[in-house]
Structure 1
């Protein structure tokens, strides 16, 4: 029977246990050039670091198994240092548990993302982080620096609030960006796109492109154009390719409604926007479910929950949470 792991918020009082894990973990790694400085850590240095920003300690049945130290030296981001697992207790989900709690901690502290440094000579370590969607930020010899932008979910009660949310996203987009919108009929995908286009100041009107599949809205202010795509009737990624969106991608922000599973292949980075209706779909005065892709303008429209998830290296370091939640 597996006993659950306990992930503890660590302070200076945990320094002795954590420095022991650091020494055991880093001491078991292959010899590196230059050698790791982790083995120079002392109870005093670890206690000082924990006192400044805190950390995590993983235990099972009171036995220390893993640890990390937080770093708050960068505005808007939470750093992870000395990520360590006891070498005799590997492959038990310790590192994954720490990463999950670390990401929750970053969210609770109002951070936009996480960064850390790993040695390129340790491919298993690099792979561990890349599988969790951490992307390279650059190199600080002898380290590869990785980062991840946290996703955000927000309740949107009205069509006006949906447009306001999209206007905040518009502050972050630039030429070449891809947004993939997902949601039921009538959830507000077109309303979101309208708010995005208005804030980007492109030529309108923006309506659902269901029958023409794609519409281009040129910028009125020398910014990126908006290409609005409806993939509802497209059955495969190959059919998306037939739209020849690559020809305009570099100078545009491309928004693909119903794009999940077919549009992501257009870029190595994209922003996923999922819109979910709380309760039943809005009903118009004639008793018909609203299914034209736009939110109801009536007061009784059900609130939406919009989940925005950045994917790929383009979005690393982007202040998504602080912008969208402001």
Structure 2
């Protein structure tokens, strides 16, 4: 398992500052306490005083001892925290806080994405959290990140939960293509796949494997300049529609490509489709490909997130366990 203080993910903000998420260690307790108190003090005063404001150094150290945490640094300065622990038989997120002055930078969404993927890489399958009933906007924010109210109330909080992605460690490009070929066996006409990841992460390589598994005409290459490329089937299976949304400004421009006309008889894969292509189908497979911090390491982590009843997490997990 990765050491607590090892960097899990990094990002560069538009102004050039570096954002790093890493595991929290015992010596981070004072910084965690300061972030929690400032973050929860800045929230609107509604109803009872937040339990988090009763935290002290000893309680934070206990949370680190019996659970674990994530600390986010901006140019080396701690600005956000997430704690994780098992409560009532379930894995739960808690003390999710970002310093008030950094709340408009997308830090929280980035951090939660990293945390969920790290929990998936640890073999976890499901996670919960408690959202206070007095803050419907906060519940709506968690819903955007895949959490669903479970119809259970604890005190003044609603229990929300979501399934975690299926995590697959992929050592090289050949293994990425092999994973794509295995995924192809689960695909059928009408399926939508949204693939995300940094430049060079392996989105097109994975798509090549899917194309090979579907046995479509090739070559499967990035459709950056044509935006969309159709690969007809050589058998009686579905075609592959390969879309690159990198240069598109939103769903309206994607809609102009007329994908609705081809989706029924094809598997549609949209690279760079996060935030753009979700409206194409309520049921979809979201694939996020993460590279490590070390640029010389070819290893990638692939995270498969099933959205909607079309997708079976058990079947995706079985694909992950197959030999590459």
In the superposition, the TM-score normalised over structure 2's length comes to: 0.55
Alignment of 1:275-286 (within 5 A): none
State the 1:134 CA deviation: 1.8
2:307 match: 312
| Residue of 137, 148, 170 corresponding to 1:136 | 148
Aligned residue-pair number: 246
State the 1:161 CA deviation: 8.1
Preserved contact between residue 78 and residue 115 of structure 1 (Cα < 8 Å): yes
Does the C-alpha gap of structure 1 residues 120 and 316 become closer, same or farther in structure 2, counting only changes over 3 Å?
Answer: farther
State the 1:46 CA deviation: 1.8
Preserved contact between residue 117 and residue 167 of structure 2 (Cα < 8 Å): no
State the 1:7 CA deviation: 3.1
Preserved contact between residue 6 and residue 59 of structure 1 (Cα < 8 Å): yes
Alignment of 1:17-36 (within 5 A): 17-33=31-47, 35-36=49-50
1:102 match: 115
Preserved contact between residue 147 and residue 317 of structure 1 (Cα < 8 Å): no
TM-superposition CA deviations, 1:228-257 (whole Å, max 9, x none): 65476xx7355358x6xxxxxxxxxxx843
State the 1:55 CA deviation: 0.4
TM-superposition CA deviations, 1:131-167 (whole Å, max 9, x none): 4x42315243222514253254557769998776667
Does the C-alpha gap of structure 1 residues 321 and 56 become closer, same or farther in structure 2, counting only changes over 3 Å?
Answer: farther
- How far apart are the structure 2 equivalents of 1:114 and 1:316? 19
Does the C-alpha gap of structure 1 residues 321 and 79 become closer, same or farther in structure 2, counting only changes over 3 Å?
Answer: farther
Does the C-alpha gap of structure 1 residues 59 and 210 become closer, same or farther in structure 2, counting only changes over 3 Å?
Answer: closer
Which runs of 5 or more residues in structure 2 are unaligned?
1-14, 194-205, 217-230, 242-256, 289-299
| Residue of 220, 233, 236 corresponding to 2:258 | 236
1:9 match: 23
State the 1:115 CA deviation: 3.7
State the 1:320 CA deviation: 6.5
Alignment of 1:1-326 (within 5 A): 2-33=16-47, 35-60=49-74, 63-72=77-86, 79-112=92-125, 114-131=127-144, 133-141=145-153, 142-150=157-165, 152=167, 179-180=191-192, 183=207, 187-190=211-214, 229-230=238-239, 236-239=258-261, 256-258=266-268, 267-271=281-285, 309-314=304-309, 318-319=313-314, 322-326=317-321
Structure with the greater relative contact order (CA < 8 A, sep ≥ 6): 1 or 2?
A: 1
In the superposition, the TM-score normalised over structure 1's length comes to: 0.55
Q: CA RMSD in A?
A: 4.9
Does the C-alpha gap of structure 1 residues 137 and 163 become closer, same or farther in structure 2, counting only changes over 3 Å?
Answer: farther
State the 1:84 CA deviation: 0.6
Does the C-alpha gap of structure 1 residues 178 and 106 become closer, same or farther in structure 2, counting only changes over 3 Å?
Answer: farther
Of residues 178-187 and 140-149 in structure 1, the stretch that sits farther from structure 2 once superposed is 178-187
State the 1:64 CA deviation: 3.1
- How far apart are the structure 1 equivalents of 2:75 and 2:180? 47
